[in-house]
C-alpha cells in the first residue's frame, strides 16, 4: 500500500522544483540558511525557504549524544551470546575502505553487500546507502552530505523532496541522527508495555575525517541567529534481525493490525511501514515483534507524536493529505506562527 502515497503525491513533483524567481525581491522574513565546511568556511552556500524550521535542522543532532554512543568505544558482539565478533579497530578499517569505494562509485564492495541506495546520488556523492557486512550479522547505514547538498532537497530523489516539505526541512541525514536516541526512548516506553519485542543494538561510527558541516540560520528564531555543526559523514551500525525459523509466520492482514496497534501504543515514534517489522508467533502462540528501523518518524514527516491511525490505508491517506496541505495551503503567516513556537 506504500504506492498509494506515492501515486497521490506524484503530481506534486513538478511543483517541488518551482522556487521563487531569482529576480523577485527576497522576503526579509523568509528563513535563510548558510552552510559551509569547517575546512573551508569562506565557501558558503545560501538557501532561503519557508520550510526551514528550527526543528529538526537545529535540534536533531547532539554532539554529546553522538560521542557517548560511538562504536569506537566498543567491539561488535553477538546479540545473543555476547561473544566478540569484530573489534572496533577491525570494523573501522573496513568502514574507511567502504567510504573510499562508495566515492569511487564501485558496484561491489569488498566486505559488504548493498541492500539499498535509492536515497543516494552517486554523481554528487550524497544521501544514504544501506549495506550489510558479508561475514558478520550487522547492517550499515552510511550517511554522506556536503555543504552544497545538506540543505538541497532536489538532489536525492522524490522521497527526500517530500520529506523536506512535510518535515520542515528535514532529510535522511538529519533524521538518521534520531535513530539511537529514539531507540533508547522506545526501550523506556516498552517497560510499561506487555509486548514481546526484539530491538537491535545500534552504534554511531565516525571516519577519521567526518568533514564537519556548519549550518547558520537566520529568521529561524525571531531576533536571533542560531547554528549547528554536524558530521558530513557518519555511519550507524545495527544488529541484523531475521525471522526465527522455529516461529510461526503471521498472515499479512493480522500482521498489519499488530503493527498499527503497536505503533499507536508507542506514540507513533517509529514508522508503521510493514518493511520495518518482522511479526511472528513463538511456540507458545505469543506474538513476537522484531523492529529494524528506529528513526523518529514524526521528525521525518512533521506529524505530532501521539497521532493515531486505525489502519495502514488511513495512515497513507492521512500522510498524503498532510502533503497536500504542506505543499499548497500553508501560508507565510502560518509558517511564521509555527516557527515562533
**Looking at the predicted structure, is the pLDDT value of residue 310 above 70?**
yes
The confidence score (pLDDT) of residue 74 equals 83
Q: How confident is the model at residue 336 (pLDDT cuts 50, 70, 90)?
A: low
Residue range(s) defining the domain that contains residue 250: 32-335
Which DSSP string do the residues of 201-268 spell out, in sequence order?
-EEEE--S----EEEEEEEEETTEEEEEEE-SEEEEEEEPP---TTSEEPPHHHHHHHHHHHHHHTTT
Q: How confident is the model at residue 327 (pLDDT cuts 50, 70, 90)?
A: confident
Average of per-residue pLDDT across 156-168:
89
**C-alpha cell of residue 159:** 522521497
> Which candidate, 82, 111, 116, places its Cα nearest to that of 99?
111
Mean of the per-residue pLDDT values for the chain?
90
> Which candidate, 9, 3, 11, 12, places its Cα nearest to that of 320?
9
Model-wide pTM > 0.75: yes
What is the rounded distance in angstroms from the CA atom of residue 254 to the CA atom of residue 273?
14
**Looking at the predicted structure, is the pLDDT value of residue 76 above 50?**
yes
Q: How confident is the model at residue 330 (pLDDT cuts 50, 70, 90)?
A: confident
Does 6 fall in a domain?
no
**C-alpha cell of residue 205:** 561510527
**Looking at the predicted structure, is the pLDDT value of residue 19 above 70?**
no
Please answer whether residues 232 and 150 qualify as being in contact, where contact means their C-beta atoms are separated by less than 8 angstroms.
yes
**Looking at the predicted structure, is the pLDDT value of residue 100 above 60?**
yes
3 burial (CB, 10 Å; 0-12 / 13-18 / 19+) is exposed
Does 17 fall in a domain?
no
Q: How confident is the model at residue 337 (pLDDT cuts 50, 70, 90)?
A: low
The confidence score (pLDDT) of residue 224 equals 92
The confidence score (pLDDT) of residue 5 equals 52
The confidence score (pLDDT) of residue 333 equals 65
Q: How many CB atoms lie within 10 A of CB 28?
A: 7
Does 27 fall in a domain?
no
Does 26 fall in a domain?
no
**Looking at the predicted structure, is the pLDDT value of residue 18 above 60?**
no
Domain count, the chain: 1
> Which candidate, 160, 82, 146, places its Cα nearest to that of 118?
160
**Looking at the predicted structure, is the pLDDT value of residue 55 above 50?**
yes
Average of per-residue pLDDT across 311-330:
87
Condensed to tens digits (0 to 9), the pLDDT of residues 213-225 reads 999 999 998 889 9
Pairing of strands 233-239, 202-205: antiparallel
What is the rounded distance in angstroms from the CA atom of residue 24 to the CA atom of residue 26?
6
Does 124 fall in a domain?
yes
Which letter does DSSP use for residue 325 in this model?
Answer: H
Does 76 fall in a domain?
yes
Residue with cell 520550510: 51
Of 73-82, 106-115, 166-175, 320-329, least confident by mean pLDDT is: 320-329
Q: How confident is the model at residue 127 (pLDDT cuts 50, 70, 90)?
A: very high
**C-alpha cell of residue 59:** 535540534
Does 5 fall in a domain?
no
Please answer whether residues 280 and 270 qualify as being in contact, where contact means their C-beta atoms are separated by less than 8 angstroms.
no
Average of per-residue pLDDT across 263-280:
96
The confidence score (pLDDT) of residue 324 equals 85
Does 126 fall in a domain?
yes
Amino acid at each position: 500500500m506504500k504506492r498509494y502515497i506515492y501515486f497521490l503525491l506524484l503530481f506534486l513533483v513538478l511543483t517541488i522544483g518551482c522556487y521563487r524567481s531569482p529576480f523577485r525581491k527576497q522576503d526579509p522574513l523568509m528563513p535563510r540558511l548558510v552552510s559551509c565546511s569547517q575546512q573551508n568556511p569562506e565557501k558558503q552556500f545560501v538557501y532561503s525557504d519557508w520550510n526551514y524550521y528550527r526543528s529538526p535542522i537545529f535540534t536533531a543532532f547532539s554532539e554529546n549524544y553522538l560521542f557517548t554512543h560511538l562504536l569506537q568505544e566498543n567491539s561488535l558482539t553477538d546479540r545473543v551470546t555476547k561473544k566478540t565478533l569484530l573489534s572496533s579497530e577491525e570494523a573501522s578499517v573496513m568502514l574507511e575502505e567502504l567510504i573510499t569505494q562508495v566515492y569511487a562509485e564501485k558496484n561491489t564492495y569488498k566486505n559488504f553487500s548493498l541492500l539499498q541506495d535509492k536515497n543516494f546520488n552517486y554523481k554528487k556523492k550524497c544521501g544514504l546507502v544501506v549495506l550489510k557486512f558479508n561475514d558478520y550479522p550487522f547492517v550499515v547505514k552510511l550517511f554522506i552530505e556536503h555543504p552544497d547538498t545538506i540543505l538541497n532537497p532536489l538532489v536525492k530523489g522524490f522521497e527526500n523532496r517530500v520529506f523536506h516539505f512535510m518535515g520542515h526541512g528535514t532529510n535522511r541525514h538529519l533524521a538518521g541522527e534520531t535513530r539511537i536516541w529514539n531507540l533508547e526512548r522506545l526501550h523506556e516506553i516498552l517497560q510499561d508495555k506487555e509486548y514481546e519485542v526484539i530491538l537491535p543494538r545500534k552504534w554511531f561510527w565516525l571516519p577519521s575525517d567526518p568533514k564537519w558541516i556548519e549550518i547558520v540560520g537566520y529568521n529561524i528564531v525571531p531576533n536571533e541567529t542560531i547554528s549547528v555543526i554536524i558530521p558530513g559523514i557518519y555511519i550507524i551500525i545495527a544488529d541484523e534481525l531475521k525471522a526465527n525459523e522455529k516461529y510461526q509466520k503471521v498472515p499479512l492482514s493480522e500482521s498489519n493490525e499488530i503493527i498499527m496497534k503497536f505503533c499507536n501504543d508507542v506514540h507513533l515514534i517509529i514508522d508503521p511501514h510493514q518493511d520495518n517489522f518482522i511479526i511472528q508467533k513463538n511456540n507458545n502462540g505469543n506474538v513476537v515483534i522484531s523492529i529494524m528501523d528506529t528513526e523518529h518518524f514524526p521528525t521525518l514527516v512533521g506529524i505530532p507524536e501521539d497521532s493515531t491511525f486505525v489502519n495502514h490505508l488511513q495512515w497513507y491517506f492521512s500522510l498524503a493529505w498532510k502533503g497536500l496541505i504542506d505543499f499548497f495551503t500553508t501560508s507565510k503567516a502560518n509558517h511564521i506562527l509555527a516557527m515562533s513556537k
